[in-house]
Amino acid sequence: MKAHDRFLKYVTYDTQSDAESTSAPSTPKQLILADELKKELEELGLQNVIRTPQGIVYATLPATDESMPSIGFISHMDTASELSGKNVKPRVIENWDGSTIVLNDEYSMNPEDFPQLKTVIGDSIIVTDGTTLLGNDDKAGIAIIMQTLDELKNSNQPHGKIMAAFTPDEEVGRGVENFDLSEFPVDFAYTVDGAEVNGVDYETFNAAQAEVTIHGKSIHPGSAKDQMINAAEIACRFAAAMPEYMTAEHTEGREGFIHLISVSGECEKSRLIFIIRDHNRTLFEKKKEWMRKVCSAYEVLYPGRIELNIHDQYENMRNYADEDLSTVKKAYRAVEKEGLIPVSLPVRGGTDGAVLSARGLFCPNLGTGGGNCHGRFEFASCDKMDQMVRILKNIALEDVK
């Protein structure tokens, strides 16, 4: 069995999380995959396999050499909310030649429109049928870790203790809110939730979510003059007030943004939800202050009442890096053993590792080899998954603390 065989099974599980839910996990269906992973880990012969009531799965591959460092690998089970993750129908294209990929009668993709595809020309790749997302983010990470554990368990090579953890609700910012660090005592830890196989990412956004609630007053439209306060109209104007240069679609690299992710409501009450992101803490705080000023201005411009609730989600992981970057350098060496040049770029997003780093477990992010995540154009690479298994094994087998 290869990593992609596991992946093809995992994507058949609908594990979409729900940002509106307050339960843990946010959707009960995530527990179905969690139970399957627990069963697989037990069948592999791992020890201390636990599935918590909140859906986190922990497992340990005991050391064959106690003098070697202990390593932890983490991936998440849930998929994003932008597109359905139900009834995923993956299709394998062997040795893809770079030509246009027809997903269905309506959708197709090619390297010109989706440059990430250029990294997998010549690989056997996995795509969707155009009606759902694929789930490379992050079921590819789970498959890579599972395959790594399997191969290490059945090898004669010495290694330290290897721990795995699979989390729910990463996509809604709650992946490790119930993560018990006492169940995960390791010297080095990594999430496997990135893109490029040579990526070793340890700088993320600072992140917050802003919820704007606009309270209006509904009156029959025929007699609304000077009485109606249309919260939906005000919400539209509020969204339109966002400067284009500050939006996600006009930023790149280290440029932060304020991104409108949803609008809902009617005349009586409307709600807008934004996410606020910036690598620079000062600029991050300025963006939050900008939101406060806009809300204050709109309360003056328009009748009605506007509420703003901002809550921080995670911090830039770089703030919590080990002083000598030993965790990062260990991953660099593992990537170099594959003949690749390791690259660390500022992540335009966040990972479970960002939150764990703030809690004391510095946790850089490694790649999966897939891309175009959170939509119908998502893809995975069978070859890159195999390469990532080798990189994880390189990390596990290196006798350097």
The residues, any chain, with a CB within 8 Å of residue 115's CB and separated by 6 or more, are none
Domain annotation covers residue 142:
yes
Tell me: do 14 and 25 sit in the same domain: yes
Domain annotation covers residue 14:
yes
CB 117 within 8 A of CB 384: no
State the pLDDT confidence band at 323, using cuts at 50, 70 and 90: confident
Measured CA to CA, the distance from residue 345 to residue 185 in angstroms comes to 28
Residue 149 burial (C-beta neighbours within 10 Å; 0-12, 13-18, 19+): buried
Tell me: do 191 and 331 sit in the same domain: yes
Domain annotation covers residue 220:
yes
Tell me: do 302 and 332 sit in the same domain: no
Residue 304 has pLDDT above 90, yes or no: no
Measured CA to CA, the distance from residue 76 to residue 176 in angstroms comes to 10
**How is residue 125 annotated by DSSP?**
E
Q: What's the whole-number mean pLDDT along residues 76-101?
A: 97
Residue among 118, 163, 200 nearest 371 (CA): 118
Helix (H, G, I), strand (E, B), or coil: what is residue 188?
strand
Domain annotation covers residue 401:
no
Binding residues for Zn(2+): 76, 137, 171, 193, 374
Q: What's the whole-number mean pLDDT along residues 89-109?
A: 98
Question: What tokens were used for 191?
Answer: 């999430």
Kindly provide the b/e burial profile for residues 172-199, where b requires at least 16 CB atoms within 10 angstroms of the residue's own CB: bbbbbebbeeeebebebbbbbbbbbbbb
Of 242, 277, 312, the last residue of a domain is 312
Q: What angle do CA 151, 48, 30 make, to 5 degrees?
A: 85
pLDDT of residue 72: 99
CB 242 within 8 A of CB 210: no
150 alpha carbon, distance to own chain's centre: 24
Q: What's the whole-number mean pLDDT along residues 231-250?
A: 94
Of 312, 344, 372, the last residue of a domain is 312
170 carries an active-site annotation: yes
State the pLDDT confidence band at 364, using cuts at 50, 70 and 90: very high
Domain annotation covers residue 260:
yes
Report the range of poorest mean pLDDT among 11-15, 30-34, 171-175.
171-175
Measured CA to CA, the distance from residue 370 to residue 46 in angstroms comes to 28
Tell me: do 223 and 291 sit in the same domain: yes
Measured CA to CA, the distance from residue 374 to residue 193 in angstroms comes to 13
Tell me: do 134 and 176 sit in the same domain: yes
Domain annotation covers residue 346:
yes
CATH number at residue 353: 3.40.630.10
pLDDT of residue 350: 86
pLDDT of residue 357: 96
Number of Cβ within 10 Å of residue 326's Cβ equals: 16
The model's pLDDT over 350-363, given as tens digits with 9 standing for 90+, comes to 899 999 999 999 99
CATH number at residue 299: 3.30.70.360
Binding residues: 76, 137, 171, 193, 374
User: What distances in angstroms separate CA 254 from CA 171, 246, 258, 341, one per listed residue?
Assistant: 21, 12, 13, 22
Domain annotation covers residue 278:
yes
Per DSSP, the residues of 199-268 read BEE----EEEEEEEEEE-B---GGG-TTT-B-HHHHHHHHHHTS-GGGSGGG--TT--EEEEEEEEE-SS
Q: What's the whole-number mean pLDDT along residues 135-151?
A: 98
At residue 207, φ and ψ (nearest 5 deg) are -135, 140
Kindly provide the b/e burial profile for residues 12-22, where b requires at least 16 CB atoms within 10 angstroms of the residue's own CB: ebbbbbbeeee
Tell me: do 190 and 275 sit in the same domain: no
Domain annotation covers residue 400:
no
State the pLDDT confidence band at 45, using cuts at 50, 70 and 90: very high
Of 267, 294, 312, the last residue of a domain is 312
Tell me: do 264 and 380 sit in the same domain: no
pLDDT of residue 322: 87
Tell me: do 151 and 12 sit in the same domain: yes
Q: Across the chain, how many H-helices and E-strands are there?
A: 8, 16
Tell me: do 166 and 266 sit in the same domain: no
pLDDT of residue 349: 87
Measured CA to CA, the distance from residue 313 to residue 176 in angstroms comes to 12
Q: What's the whole-number mean pLDDT along residues 201-222?
A: 96
Measured CA to CA, the distance from residue 165 to residue 112 in angstroms comes to 37
Question: Which residue among the candidates 14, 78, 278, 378 is catalytic per the annotation?
Answer: 78
Beta bridge mates, 343: 199
| Total tally of structural domains belonging to the chain | 2
Taken in order 75, 76, 80, 83, is the CA torsion positive or negative? positive
Tell me: do 154 and 82 sit in the same domain: yes
pLDDT of residue 401: 66
Residue 400 has pLDDT above 80, yes or no: no
Tell me: do 332 and 358 sit in the same domain: yes
- Mean pLDDT estimate for the chain: 96
Query: Which residues span the domain enclosing 33?
Result: 1-201+315-395
Helix (H, G, I), strand (E, B), or coil: what is residue 92?
strand
Question: Which residue among the candidates 14, 40, 123, 170 is catalytic per the annotation?
Answer: 170
Report the range of poorest mean pLDDT among 58-62, 291-295, 319-323.
319-323
Tell me: do 266 and 125 sit in the same domain: no
pLDDT of residue 354: 94
Residue 346 has pLDDT above 70, yes or no: yes
State the pLDDT confidence band at 1, using cuts at 50, 70 and 90: very high
